[in-house]
Chains A and B, each alone.
Chain A
Amino acid sequence: MNSLNEIAFQNQQDFWSMLYMYLGKSIKDILGRKGVEDLRKAMRTIAINKGISIREEFLENGIKTNLETLYEQNVYCCADPRFRLNVLAHDEDFRLFEIYTCPLANLWLDNDASWLAEIYCEEYHLGLIKGFTEGIGQCCLGKRISCHRTNGTRPDNHCRFSVYYRAANCNPQQRAESFGDTDHNPLPDRDTRSYLAEKCVALICELVNVLYQDFSDEGLRAVSAGLYDLAKPAAEMMKHYSSATLSPDIKAFVSENIPLDLEAASDPAWDGFKDSTAFNIYIASFVIPFERELGISDKD
């Protein structure tokens, strides 16, 4: 059993996994295969943008942009104690590691959504490395816990990542920025909750963007339906864990156990998007029904 503060990390992580799953299922149901194509496209875009933003943040702070610094920041696993991994070998230009337990894979496989896991695993890690290394790095994911083979061979029981970012493939400026001789500055503290909040907002906004382009209002309907479908199970999860941890104030519990603030208008994760269609859909299709399910709606 993990400690109370770890349960908050777990719930935040599960919230993101559920958000992705309900959006993905809704997109598939309403928009079909073409919608799934957009989901994959969105996931890659989000990941590339994240990689680029980490790179820019490092450069602004005088931090070398190599694989050692990237993984020091713990971008993959946040603080969820259910991740168990082993780094086999690492240096500035490569990192080999295995993941033995993954709460994302567990949640998606438990919900018959291995296809969604496949999209996430194939696109997110690859995109992040592409963005961070300006397209030079390679991210190889061979074995995958989320992999369900159907041809009689055994499914994988761990993930194996091998990431390469070689100085010899960089131009002189990239080489200096990534592998220069100077010591890099200390990394800023990372806040897991805000990292996941940013990831939630990025997912919703990018899906709205790409689906509206390709499907117009029907695309927005798919996002809206996915968010609405999430409200009830997310509320049930919150109620269960607040009860299991003897937390009397459900509103306070929720504020610590999902990555996004219910007071969305003042949530910094939505900064820059508060006038957007995505924000309005999020409020209407998730926040309001979620609060109602929890019995904390001011509007009731």
Chain B
Amino acid sequence: MQKYTYEDKCTMYLSDYYTMMYGFIGKHLIEDLGIEGEKALRKGTREFGYDRAEVKREKALKAGLKINMKTLFANFPDLPNDPRFRRELQELNEQERVSHTLRCTMAEAWDRYGHRKVGRIYCEEFHPACYSHYCFDLTQVNLPMTLTQDGDDHCDFNVVLRPENVPDNLKPVCFSEYDPLYVEPEIKDEPISAKDGFGSLSVKLYYYLFKCAVSICGEAGEAAIVSGLKEYASAAIDAMKEHAKEDALEYNEQYVHDNFPFDMDTVHDTHWTGYADNNSRKVLQKNLCDLVVVSL
């Protein structure tokens, strides 16, 4: 059996709680609001994908990299590797990324709480939005098999960017062969902190779900988000207590800081900069963070 370090475990739990949030909020959007809630969930997931893509693209351009499949998947990761994750990479070049995900911890987390259907929506909306948007909405994202789909035993990613589909003015931006004087810069990716990565993405994911729920469903949308957050808080608190006990650790402020993606004090958490232009932060503080603090 594989032995994990404390840091490994923190990465795994941060990943799980990040994933759980999507499951609980998504469940409430669909169950409480029907198709309009699902619409908000799907739209929010896509907007989250666009955001991640734009951040990544900006970093790549700034570093002098080409915007293609190779740089999308090989440079500037916004999350550290989850040690449980298993992947078989078949092809990675400027035009193609073909890979099979054999074990996906997000799918497992959704399954654990009966949120497979919600997870399926994440796979269907996030990946096409993010991967396509990174390459100026020109990427063809084929994800015909996912571990969130009944009957599939792996995820099948076949993501392609063909030069023929790229306008002439963008060809040298995307492909080295169209830029004869191009010398690929040496990029040394700094190791990314799991807390920082999941913290940042949790705020963003939540923000876009909240924003779309409110814009599409109004007050009912906010109410569904509140219900989702409360149920998420309860499940996360139970899980954190259990895991702390399993690891013979004390469930305290430090444990929550290391293992839970959100900071308990959202006012001073810089991840919210640019993502607190509506009631979103306050709703999360009250219906998630305050409940976690009380549980300590």
Residues on A lying within 8 angstroms of B by beta carbon are 33, 36-37, 40-41, 88-89, 96, 119, 122, 126, 138, 140-143, 149, 151, 153, 160-162, 164, 166-169, 175
Contacts and interface: CB of A to CB of B under 8 A. Distances in A.
Given A138-B124, A168-B42, A143 B144 contact: yes
A140 B143 CA distance: 6
Nearest to B93: A151
B35 A168 contact: yes
A140 B151 contact: no
B144 A161 contact: yes
Given A162-B145, A168-B38, A36 B128 contact: no
Interface string B133-145: 0000000111111
B140 A126 contact: yes
A129 B141 CA distance: 14
11 contacts: A40-B165, A89-B150, A96-B144, A141-B144, A142-B143, A143-B144, A143-B156, A149-B91, A151-B90, A151-B91, A166-B124
A122 B165 CA distance: 11
Contacts, number: 66
A121 B124 CA distance: 21
Interface residues of B, number: 26
Given A96-B149, A162-B145, 18 more contacts: A37-B163, A96-B144, A122-B160, A122-B162, A140-B143, A141-B144, A142-B156, A143-B144, A143-B156, A149-B91, A153-B90, A160-B144, A160-B145, A167-B35, A168-B41, A169-B39, A169-B42, A175-B35
A164 B128 CA distance: 12
Given A37-B164, A160-B156, A149 B90 contact: yes
A33 B164 CA distance: 8
B91 A153 contact: yes
A161 B42 CA distance: 21
A151 to B, nearest CB: 6
Contacts of A138: 124, 128
Contacts of B142: 140-142
A164 B124 contact: yes
Nearest to A179: B35
Interface in B5-54: 35, 38-39, 41-42
Interface string B91-135: 100000000000000000000000000000000100010000000
B96 to A, nearest CB: 10
